[in-house]
């Protein structure tokens, strides 16, 4: 028999939990009311179980799990499409929400985060080629050398899309942009693209407009867009 693990997560309101996950395409495989409220849900070969815990506050819930999947882009698209159909929009702020799909080379994954109505963090990733960190010692290996903008991008990406601390990520990237080497075009554009994405999550429309102008200016100077293809796709959502 194949060995596997099943995350068991709290639900503050089971009706809301079921509505949220079924909107993303999960199906209920088991449900009971007594002696305790318990629901099993599944999508692809992934199972999540939920138990009722009304006392927990979603904003202070630390429950989390990590799901490894194949074809993460298709799964992300189906999740966002389902939520948009159910809720009328894709929630990207507050609780519940779904964070952007991002490459995290320093972690070796392409991932996104779902925060459900109870505040559970569901991190979902697909393995990609891991890059050695520019900032931290890992597995006994010292950090690689890199430019200040490269280091700021790695830290900002870790904070915003790994730790989900967008305010701290914004401070890191803002400081990097103020002291930026304007000749380091590729990495400057990556920082701009990441910062504009965070500005959207912060509802900072003024900064989005300013960064859009900056990003377009940089693109006129970059002759080969291949190394920034993923960043360019993210940027184009905001640049008009």
Instruction: Report pLDDT for 240.
Output: 65
Closest CA to 156 of 180, 184, 120, 192: 192
Instruction: Report pLDDT for 21.
Output: 98
Closest CA to 72 of 19, 114, 116, 28: 114
pLDDT at 93 over 90: no
Q: How far apart are CA 6 and CA 84, in angstroms?
A: 27
What tokens were used for 26? 């999960």
User: Residue 172, class by beta-carbon neighbours within 10 Å (0-12 exposed, 13-18 middle, 19+ buried)?
Assistant: buried
Beta-bridged to residue 111, according to DSSP, are: 102, 125
Q: How far apart are CA 186 and CA 205, in angstroms?
A: 24
Instruction: Report pLDDT for 239.
Output: 73
C-alpha dihedral sign at 168, 174, 179, 180: positive
User: Residue 46, class by beta-carbon neighbours within 10 Å (0-12 exposed, 13-18 middle, 19+ buried)?
Assistant: middle
- The pLDDT of 16-35, averaged and rounded, is 96
pLDDT above 70 coverage of the chain, percent? 100
pLDDT at 55 over 70: yes
């Amino acid at each position: 028999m194949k060995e596997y693990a099943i995350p068991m997560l709290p639900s503050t309101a089971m009706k809301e939990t079921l509505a949220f996950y079924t909107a993303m395409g999960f199906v209920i495989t088991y449900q009971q009311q007594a002696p305790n409220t318990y629901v099993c849900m599944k999508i692809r070969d992934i199972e999540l179980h939920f138990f009722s815990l009304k006392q927990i506050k979603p904003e202070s819930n630390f429950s989390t799990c990590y799901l490894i999947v194949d074809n993460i882009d298709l799964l992300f698209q189906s999740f966002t499409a389902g939520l948009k159909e159910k809720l009328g929009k894709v929630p990207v702020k507050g609780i519940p929400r779904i964070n952007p799909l991002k490459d995290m080379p320093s972690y070796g994954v392409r991932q996104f985060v779902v925060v459900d109505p109870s505040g559970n963090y569901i991190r979902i990733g697909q393995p990609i080629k891991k890059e050695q960190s520019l900032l931290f010692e890992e597995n006994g290996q010292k950090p690689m050398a890199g430019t200040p903008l490269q280091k700021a991008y790695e830290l900002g990406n870790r904070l915003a899309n790994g730790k989900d601390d967008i305010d701290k990520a914004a401070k890191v990237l803002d400081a990097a942009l103020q002291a930026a080497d304007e000749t380091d075009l590729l990495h400057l554009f990556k920082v701009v693209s990441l910062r504009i994405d965070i500005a959207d999550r912060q509802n900072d429309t003024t900064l989005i407009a300013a960064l859009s102008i900056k990003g377009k200016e940089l693109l006129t100077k970059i002759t080969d867009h291949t190394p920034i293809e993923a960043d360019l796709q993210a940027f184009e959502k905001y640049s008009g």
